[in-house]
Amino acid sequence: MDFELHYTAGQEEFRKEVRAFIEENAYKEPLEVVDPMKIPPEMWNKGREIQRKLGAKGWYAPGYAKEYGGGGLDREHRAVLAEEFAKIRLERRWPIASAGSTEVSAIHSSGLMSYGTEDQKKRLLPHLLKGEWYGFQAFTEPDAGTDEASMKSTAVRKGDVYVINGTKVFVGHSPPPIHPDYLYWPAVTDPKAPRHENISAFFVPGDLPGITYTPLELIAAEGSKWEVTCEDVQCPADRLIGEENKGWLVTQATLAAEHGGGGVVAPHLSSLSLRFIDYCKNTKRNGQPISRDPRIQDLLVHLYIEDQITRLWGLRNLAMASGQIPRVRYTGTQTSLHNKRHSPEMGKIFMEILGPHCLIDDPELKILVGEVEHQVRLADVTHIGGTPETQQIMMSRGLGLGRGARQAAR
């Protein structure tokens, strides 16, 4: 099956409209910041302003239904948006990382879409899909990361509120002192119920009394990270997502999206691997291009193959999500597992080819504006969204293997 995208004349006209919008809102000169942990508040605020503009046009959630605030666009129009935003990022004239996100995070919308009531969707989804709200995915706790069923946060119903207590760590992306509009917060609502049947999910307003935000100092992350504590926070009961004690299902829909189950349009030109390959072709060492070394050629070919796998799996998953081909349960987790295995591998290849030069963040000497240094530093951060071992367990469930499948067969 042909997963590649082909465009009509009308879609190419749409591309011109998108490019005009981008030029109107982009920086005039290339940025020097590439590390998402160093995003200044001014850049973050500019990115949020652009997201609201995109939301007003239906482009921030282009694949969602218009009745909820989305754009109702087909796969090809969404691909045009992705490609054009990839181009401006390559020019480094766009806010970086989450500050420059140009599409609503399915991590925040998928649980609500899958298990929210119609009333919840109509009240809450438009704020997300129009870029009006920014939130923290507050899942990880000091003693509960991958195993969410072990979380200690609690939510006790008292009248028209839930009183929430607990602490979440390594959450968010916004730079200090910027706090979120809401916290996507799972908590135990029935301590006596079995695991997986005792959790509820909430969109807790981020400015309620009793919420404390503490920025964390980390060596590597995909943005600024926070510790968030709720102490007797009174969350309105209408911020419950789905049904009470059904939060495990809500969070699983979120994790499926986080693992890539919805697929992606992966514009080829945005790939760091391909840009690194070009760097090696055009940079000389001992009088000849780095890529002329046979050993290095083998490493670069490996990078290229892995990059193509990522791109094609993303298009395959998108075709499944769009109904173009039958859906297979494990493919999102498969893509996530591949990326988590490849990230440390990529860091090692960069180091093997360039040595300590990879670690230099000096403005005059850093490689590819510092992206190589950032990738090497981030290479082993593979726990986000679940460790590689967790992805394997989730794949086995999708294949009908493992303890759960055996118990169901009895």
Over the chain (410 residues), the average pLDDT of each successive run of 10 is 77 97 96 86 96 97 94 90 90 89 89 92 96 95 80 96 97 95 97 92 98 91 91 97 92 71 53 93 95 97 93 81 80 84 94 93 86 90 80 81 54
Residues sharing a CB contact under 8 Å with residue 389, sequence separation 6 or more, in sequence order: none
Q: Is 58 left (phi over 0), alpha (psi -120 to 50) or beta?
A: left
Q: Which residues, listed in sequence order, are joined to residue 161 by a DSSP beta bridge?
A: 158, 236
The architecture of the domain spanning 135-248 is Beta Barrel (2.40)
Q: Let me know if the fold of 135-248 is the same as that of 259-409.
A: no
**Contact (CB, 8 A) for 298 and 117:** no
- Nearest alpha carbon to residue 329 among 256, 233, 402, 255: 256
Angle at 261 between CA 118 and CA 245, to 5 degrees: 45
pLDDT at 263: 52
The architecture of the domain spanning 9-103 is Orthogonal Bundle (1.10)
CA 335 – CA 279 distance, rounded (Å): 27
- The fold of the 259-409 domain, in CATH, is Butyryl-CoA Dehydrogenase, subunit A; domain 3 (1.20.140)
CA 158 – CA 178 distance, rounded (Å): 30
Domain boundaries, the chain: 9-103, 135-248, 259-409
Is the torsion defined by CA of 381, 385, 389, 391 positive or negative? negative
pLDDT at 297: 97
